[in-house]
A and B are shown apart, each in its own frame.
Chain A
């Protein structure tokens, strides 16, 4: 397949398609030696064009329960995928101890600061932390922060813990937001 590269048109082929056996680097990125795909620059080169995918990154982060004392974590895992401006974070927090009565259920540590209008939300997949209201409580990221709080799905009130942690308690789910 003939491939033509010039300073005006970039790369063109006779068939109009371009096939790479492994990886393609964009923005001057060195193509990854692992697997097949598109390699973006390690530091995002943001595009103002709405149809341009300008970033991809995956990694880990560490969620931290806020406002409680004497916390013992059994598991404290966070992973994320960032695609353009959209960040999706998964959290898995398991506690075996924590003094928390009367405080909100909140964690910090998101990998990217949320945007001015975070437009975020998410899903609690499993939680058995003792709270005042046992209604479903989804996670909500605050704007311009790395904080996620939980609110009653029905009336929007802040979810408050009402008993110290005893035994293994879970807080698991995911949250999405814009940066």
Chain B
């Protein structure tokens, strides 16, 4: 009747050109069989400090966020800011 809790990053998705969606799953197992699962999510963009992220997340972000992608993101942000009231 041992309950165990395991938390891990179970999904990393690149959405569009620069958004990296990360999902952390917490799984509770009883005698090896899953009895509950919950998720926590966040999204990373090129202007964020990712030093606190897990290494595999950092690796994907650093691969995806090329100088061209970072520049495109800055351009997108500037254009979006112009459209704000």
Contact = CB atoms under 8 A, between A and B. Distances in A.
Contacts of B21: 111-113
Given A60-B40, A142-B80, A158-B84, 13 more contacts: A33-B33, A43-B11, A59-B23, A59-B39, A59-B41, A61-B42, A80-B41, A111-B41, A112-B21, A113-B19, A113-B21, A145-B80, A158-B85
Interface of A: 33-34, 42-43, 57-62, 80, 109-113, 142-146, 149, 151, 156-158
Q: Which 7 A-B pairs have the closest CB atoms?
A: A59-B39, A111-B41, A113-B19, A146-B43, A113-B15, A60-B40, A156-B85
Interface in B14-40: 15-16, 19, 21, 23, 25, 33-36, 38-40
Contact of A60 (B10, B11, B38, B76): B38
Contacts of A111: 21, 41-43
Interface residues of B, number: 23
B39 A57 contact: yes
Looking at chain B's contact residues, the main secondary structure is strand
